[in-house]
Amino acid sequence: MRVAMLVAPRSIELREVPMPEPPAGGALVAVRVALTDGTDLKAYRRGHPQMPFPTPFGHEFSGEILALGSGVSDWRVGEAIACVHSAPCGACFWCAAGEEELCESVMERKILGAYADAIVVPPHILRRNAFRKPDALTFAEAAFLEPLSCVVHSRDLLGLRRRSSLAVFGDGGFGLLHALLLARDGHESVLVGRRAERLQLAASLGLATIDASTEDVSAALRERSGGRGVDAIVECTGTPEIWELAPSLVRRGGVVSFFGGLPADARVSFAASRLHYDEVRLVSPFHFTPRAVASAFGLLRDRAFDCARLISHRYPLDRIVDAFAQLDAGVGLKVAIEA
C-alpha cells in the first residue's frame, strides 16, 4: 500500500510499504478521505517535536474496515467507520478525574498516517472513539469528526449558560467551525477575519463577519454589545497579538478562550485588573474527551451544519505533494485527500 511520509520540511515521499495486519482488538481501515489541517501544514513547514522525520502524517479521516484483529465482535469487514486518532487510557489520574483530554498517554498513543491507502486503528480507539458512518453522511463529512471534537470540547469549556454575544477570531477551518457551532447553539456569533474569500465563505454559511483588515474590530464589538464588550471571545488565530488583545474586548465577567496554540516558549501579558476586578475568565481548551467526540458525531449525523463547504480542494493521494505545495502557498482551506 502507499503511505505519504514527511521526510524533511516541505518534502513528502509517497512510499510503498507492506499492508499492516490489524492488532488484536483493533482494525485495519482503508482510508477513503483524509483532510488536511493546520497541524499537518505546520509539521510540513517546519517539523513537529512529536513527529521526528521521517514520519507518516494526516490524522482526520474516515474509511472502510478492511480487516479486523482477533476478538473484535462488534464490527464487520466492509463497514464504514468515522473515528478520531486518539483515545484516553481510562486509568490515569486525569481520566479518573474526568479530564480525559489531559490523559497522560493520549498523545503518545495517538495514530498518524491517514495520508495512505490504509491505517491501523488500535483497540483503545476502536473501543472508545469510533462510530459506524451512516450512509447519509459522506466520507468527507465523516472526516470532520476529529476537528469538530476539538471544537465541541472548546465550546463546552466556555461554559456559556445563556444566549451570548461572542466573537471568533480567525478565518481558518477552526475559526469557521467554532462560529458555525456557536451560531447553531443560538449565540450571536461573529467571525473576525482578514481574508476576503474566507469572509465570503463565512457569510454564505450564514455567519456574521468583521473584516479586521478594514474595520475597527474593538469598536465593532462594542457596538454589537451595547458598549459593554462581548460575552465571550474564542481566539483561533494562534498569534500572541490577539491573545493579548482578547481579554480587553470582553465585558466584565466575560470569558476568553485561547484555542489557537502558541509556540512552546511564547510569553503573553494581560492587564491583571481585567482578570481580578472585572472577573474576566480565561480558558484554554486542549484536545477533546470521548464525550466531545460522541457529541461531535451527533452533530455530524444530524447535519447540524454543512461542514463539507469548508473543503476547498480535493486531490488523489498520488498528488499529495501538489496539495501541500498549494496549502503552503496560502491557497485552500481544508483539502480532501482521497486514496
Closest to Zn ion by CB, 45 or 252: 45
Nearer of residues 68 and 168 to Zn ion, judged by Cβ: 168
For residues 256-315, which are near Zn ion according to CB under 5 A?
none
Interface pattern 116-145 for Zn ion (x via CB under 5 A): ------------------------------
**To which H or E segment does residue 287 belong?**
none
Contacts with 29 (C-beta within 8 Å, 6 or more apart), sequence order:
61, 63, 64, 65, 66, 81, 83, 118, 119, 120, 121
Residue count of the chain = 339
Q: Of 1, 14, 41, 92, which lies in the binding site for Zn ion, with binding defined by CB under 5 A?
A: 92
Quote the least distance from Cβ 331 to Zn ion, whole Å.
Answer: 20
Range 40-79, binding Zn ion (CB under 5 A): 60
Distance of CA 179 to the CA centre of its chain: 13
Query: Minimum distance between the CB of residue 88 and Zn ion, rounded to whole angstroms?
Result: 5
Sketch the per residue contact string, 20 through 39, with Zn ion: x for CB under 5 A, - otherwise: -----------------x--
Strands, E assignment, the chain: 2-8, 11-16, 27-35, 55-56, 60-68, 80-83, 118-121, 130-132, 165-169, 188-193, 208-211, 230-235, 250-258, 281-283, 311-316, 334-338
CA atoms of 159 and 317, how far apart (whole Å)? 40
Please choose, out of 84-92, 129-137, 161-169, 262-270, the segment that lies near Zn ion by the rule CB under 5 A: 84-92
Nearer to Zn ion, 92 or 283 (CB): 92
Taking CB under 5 A as the criterion, the residue among 58, 88, 122, 290 binding Zn ion is 88
The footprint of Zn ion (CB under 5 A) covers 37, 60, 88-89, 92, 95, 103, 146-147
